[in-house]
Amino acid sequence: MSAIDFIRRQHDDIRMYLAKLRELRGLEARRRTVSGLLRMARSHASIEEEFVYPKLEADETLADLVDAAYRDHEHLDEALGELEGCAPDDEALLGIVDEIEEILDEHLGVEEERLLVRLADRWPEGELVELGRQMRARFAELTSSAERPAIDPDQLPEA
């Protein structure tokens, strides 16, 4: 799987976590889903910053977009911190989910439509596959070093 495919799949997984949080009413299910989302989103941002953005920031035409992507990650981390501190039965939880979705909608759109397209244009498929392998290994390392492993998005609790 190429780096681009891996990133897109993770974007879909993050969207799935957020959609699931909107459906869930059970406190333990919400708690587990928030925990999985936090690990997934933070680890994903780390691998983008470690592997993808450095490859793109040397391109002068992308410098502003890459800088904005780093800032988006900072805003996302702040919102994730709010979510982490929110009790699963707090009415504010869905407002925080809205805030996270708002940050991600714009960020993921720019990333998928502009940055990943440029990555695909500039690097051969073989290099992107190797980069994807490295990213998957690093992601596994990051999520396994967490207190509890992330929930597989395909195994999220039912509403």
The DSSP line for the chain is --HHHHHHHHHHHHHHHHHHHHH---HHHHHHHHHHHHHHHHHHHHHIIIIIHHHHTTSGGGHHHHHHHHHHHHHHHHHHHHHHTS-TT-THHHHHHHHHHHHHHHHHHHIIIIIHHHHHHHS-HHHHHHHHHHHHHHHHHHHHTSSSPPPPGGGPPP-
| CATH, domain 3-148, list 1.10.3720.10, 3.30.710.10, 3.90.230.10, 1.20.120.520 | 1.20.120.520
pTM to 2 decimal places: 0.87
Count CA atoms within 13 Å of residue 111 on its CB side.
26
Going residue by residue through the chain, which has 159 residues, state the pLDDT in tens, using 9 for 90 and above. 999 999 999 999 999 999 999 998 889 989 999 999 999 999 999 999 999 999 898 888 899 999 999 999 999 999 999 999 999 999 999 999 999 999 999 999 999 999 999 989 988 999 999 999 999 999 999 988 655 444 555 555 565
